[in-house]
Amino acid sequence: MENRVEERLKQLGIVLPTAGNPAASYTNYVIVNGLMFVSGKGPAGHPKGKLGQEYTTSEGQYFARLAGIEVLAVLKDALGSLDHVRRVVKIQGFVNAAPDFEEHHKVLDGCSDLMLDVFGEKGVHARSVLGAVSVRDNLPIIVDSIFEVRV
């Protein structure tokens, strides 16, 4: 029997990649008391550059969506099924931005909209977004996330 969330991914045309390995001395996730903390993920393909400099807001939204897909890959790898996600609790974005860039919130919509598309009402979440002078590997965005899960 097909999982509901994975069926939704197919409808959206999303194929999850293999969960990437951490970039340093940490783990992809930790589960504590039903909350799953997913380590920061960047967009697939590892584009480099700043929003408001090398990239536009709409390109940043696309990168945020790709980072969200990386987060979903970690969830699937850890839980076996995305149906074990009870809700998206919080999404936090770190936008690698030029000093005068002011649309950080619009960039993170790429990830937030993905979570709503995939999980429906369970995808409604709290969030925060910060501009950063630099991030690892000069990625345009890194997404940090928290989920309530059934384990």
Amino acid of residue 97: A
For 148, residues 6+ apart whose C-beta sits below 8 A from its C-beta are 34, 35, 36, 85, 86, 87, 89
- 3-state secondary structure at position 77: helix
Q: How far is CA 130 from the centre of its chain?
A: 14
- Give the model's confidence band at 22: pLDDT under 50 very low, under 70 low, under 90 confident, else very high: confident
- How many domains in the chain? 1
In whole angstroms, give the CA distance from residue 62 to residue 37: 23
- Give the model's confidence band at 37: pLDDT under 50 very low, under 70 low, under 90 confident, else very high: very high
At residue 105, the pLDDT reads 97
Q: Which two tokens stand for residue 76?
A: 């699937």
At residue 132, the pLDDT reads 95
Per DSSP, 83 falls in state: G
- Give the model's confidence band at 3: pLDDT under 50 very low, under 70 low, under 90 confident, else very high: confident
- Tell me the pLDDT tens digit for each residue of 80-108: 999 999 999 999 999 999 999 999 999 99
At residue 1, the pLDDT reads 40
Domain CATH number, residue 135: 3.30.1330.40
At residue 17, the pLDDT reads 95
Enclosing domain of residue 24: 4-149
- The reported pTM is 0.96
